[in-house]
Chain A
Amino acid sequence: MSKKKRFLIILIAVTVAGLLLTAGLIAYVDPFFHYHKPLTWYPYVVDDQVDMNPGLARNIDYDSVLLGSSMTVSFDTSRFYDDMGLITQKLSYNGAYPKDQSNIMEIIFDAKGDSVKRVFLGIDELNYSCDINQTKYPITDYLYDKNPVNDVKYLLNKDVLLDYVIRPVLDKKDKSDWNMIYKMWWQPMHYNLANVRLYYTPAEEIADTTPAEEYIAGIEANFSANIIPYIEAHPETEFTIFYPPYSILYWYDAKRQDKIDTIVKKYDYMTRRLLEYDNVEVFFFQNQEDIICNFDNYADHTHYSPEICNYMVDCMADGTRRVTLDNLEEELELLSNLAKFYDYDSIDL
Chain B
Amino acid sequence: MLFNSYIFILAFLPICLAGFYLLRSRVPVAAKIWLISMSLWFYGYFNVNYLVIMLFSIGFNYVIFRILKATANSKRKAVFIAGIVINLAVLFYFKYFDFFIDNCNALLGTEMPLRNILLPLGISFFTFQQVGFLADTYRGEIKECAFVDYALFVSFFPQLIAGPIVNYDEMIPQFKAIGVKEFDFDRFLRGIYIFILGMGKKVLIADTFGGAVDFAYANLAYGINSTEALLAILFYTLQLYFDFSGYCDMAIGLGLLLGIDIPVNFNSPYKATNIIDFWKRWHITLSRFFTKNIYIPLGGNRKGNVRMYINLFIVFFLSGLWHGAGWNFILWGSMHGILYVLTRMYERIKTAKGKEKDGETFTRSKHNATAVLWRGISVLLTFVFVNIAWVFFRASGTGEAFKLLSEVFRGNWMLPGREFADYFNLSELWYLLKVLHLTSWDFSNYILMVLFLIFAVIITFFAPNVHEMADRTQYGISTAFFLAIILIWCVVSLSGVSTFLYFNF
The reply to whether B427 and A19 contact each other, CB–CB distance below 8 Å, is no
The reply to whether A7 and B505 contact each other, CB–CB distance below 8 Å, is no
Q: Which of A19, A71, A126, A158 has the most CB of B within 10 A?
A: A158
Residues of B within 8 A of A (CB): 6, 10, 185-186, 189, 192, 427-428, 431, 475-477, 479-481, 483-485, 487-489, 491-500, 502-505
Which B residue's beta carbon lies closest to that of A171?
Answer: B434
Q: Kindly list chain B residues whose C-beta atoms are within 8 Å of the C-beta of A303.
A: 503
Instruction: Decide: A3 near B476, CB < 8 A? Known: A51-B497, A152-B6.
Output: yes
> How many A-B contacts are there with CB distance less than 8 Å?
107
Of B427, B480, B494, B502, which contacts A7 at CB under 8 A? B480
CA distance A56 to B35 in the complex (A): 44
Q: Kindly list chain A residues whose C-beta atoms are within 8 Å of the C-beta of B489.
A: 158
The reply to whether B10 and A152 contact each other, CB–CB distance below 8 Å, is yes
Q: Which of A159-167, A188-196, A282-290, A320-328 contacts B (4 or more CB under 8 A)?
A: A159-167
Q: B100 to chain A: closest CB distance in Å?
A: 33
Instruction: Decide: A161 near B492, CB < 8 A? Known: A15-B487, A94-B502, A153-B6.
Output: yes
CA distance A156 to B477 in the complex (A): 25
Of B185, B481, B492, B502, which contacts A10 at CB under 8 A? B481
Instruction: Decide: A14 near B505, CB < 8 A? Known: A162-B427, A162-B428.
Output: no
Chain A contact residue count (CB 8 A cutoff): 44
Q: A184 to chain B: closest CB distance in Å?
A: 8
The reply to whether B505 and A15 contact each other, CB–CB distance below 8 Å, is no
CA distance A15 to B495 in the complex (A): 17
The reply to whether A124 and B427 contact each other, CB–CB distance below 8 Å, is no
Q: Residue A309 at the B interface, CB < 8 A?
A: no
Q: Kindly list chain B residues whose C-beta atoms are within 8 Å of the C-beta of A159.
A: 427, 495-497
Which A residue's beta carbon lies closest to that of B500?
Answer: A137
Which A residue's beta carbon lies closest to that of B186?
Answer: A4
Q: Kindly list chain B residues whose C-beta atoms are within 8 Å of the C-beta of A162.
A: 427-428, 431
Q: A19 to chain B: closest CB distance in Å?
A: 6
CA distance A156 to B6 in the complex (A): 9
Cβ contacts A to B, 14 pairs, < 8 Å: A3-B476, A4-B185, A8-B189, A14-B480, A14-B485, A50-B498, A94-B502, A154-B495, A156-B492, A158-B428, A159-B495, A159-B496, A159-B497, A162-B431
Q: Which of A126, A159, A167 has the most CB of B within 10 A?
A: A159
Q: Residue A6 at the B interface, CB < 8 A?
A: yes
Q: Kindly list chain B residues whose C-beta atoms are within 8 Å of the C-beta of A6.
A: 477, 480
CA distance A120 to B434 in the complex (A): 42
Q: A297 to chain B: closest CB distance in Å?
A: 17
Q: Residue A11 at the B interface, CB < 8 A?
A: yes
The reply to whether B505 and A302 contact each other, CB–CB distance below 8 Å, is yes
Q: Kindly list chain A residues whose C-beta atoms are within 8 Å of the C-beta of B481.
A: 10, 14
Contact with B along A185-216 (1 / 0, CB 8 A): 00000000000000000000000000000000
The reply to whether B488 and A15 contact each other, CB–CB distance below 8 Å, is yes
Q: A10 to chain B: closest CB distance in Å?
A: 4
The reply to whether A126 and B483 contact each other, CB–CB distance below 8 Å, is no
Q: Residue A229 at the B interface, CB < 8 A?
A: no
The reply to whether A156 and B505 contact each other, CB–CB distance below 8 Å, is no
Q: Kindly list chain A residues whose C-beta atoms are within 8 Å of the C-beta of B480.
A: 6-8, 10-11, 14
Contact with B along A70-111 (1 / 0, CB 8 A): 110000000000000000000000111000000000000000
* Besides A7-B476, A95-B503, A152-B495, 10 other A-B contacts (C-beta < 8 A): A50-B498, A51-B497, A69-B505, A153-B494, A154-B495, A159-B495, A159-B496, A159-B497, A163-B497, A303-B503
CA distance A15 to B503 in the complex (A): 40
CA distance A4 to B476 in the complex (A): 8
The reply to whether A19 and B475 contact each other, CB–CB distance below 8 Å, is no
Q: Kindly list chain A residues whose C-beta atoms are within 8 Å of the C-beta of B502.
A: 94
Q: Residue A310 at the B interface, CB < 8 A?
A: no
CA distance A51 to B498 in the complex (A): 9
Q: Kindly list chain B residues whose C-beta atoms are within 8 Å of the C-beta of A124.
A: 505
Which A residue's beta carbon lies closest to that of B431?
Answer: A162
CA distance A48 to B498 in the complex (A): 9
Q: Kindly list chain A residues whose C-beta atoms are within 8 Å of the C-beta of B6.
A: 152-153, 156
Q: A339 to chain B: closest CB distance in Å?
A: 19
The reply to whether A50 and B479 contact each other, CB–CB distance below 8 Å, is no
The reply to whether B428 and A95 contact each other, CB–CB distance below 8 Å, is no
Q: Residue A133 at the B interface, CB < 8 A?
A: no
Q: Kindly list chain A residues whose C-beta atoms are within 8 Å of the C-beta of B428.
A: 158, 162
Q: Residue A18 at the B interface, CB < 8 A?
A: yes
The reply to whether B500 and A3 contact each other, CB–CB distance below 8 Å, is no
3 nearest A-B pairs in the assembled complex, by CB-CB distance: A14-B484, A10-B480, A159-B497
Instruction: Decide: A160 near B497, CB < 8 A? Known: A4-B186, A18-B484, A94-B505.
Output: yes
Q: A5 to chain B: closest CB distance in Å?
A: 8
Q: Kindly list chain B residues whose C-beta atoms are within 8 Å of the C-beta of A127.
A: 505
The reply to whether A158 and B505 contact each other, CB–CB distance below 8 Å, is no
CA distance A159 to B480 in the complex (A): 25
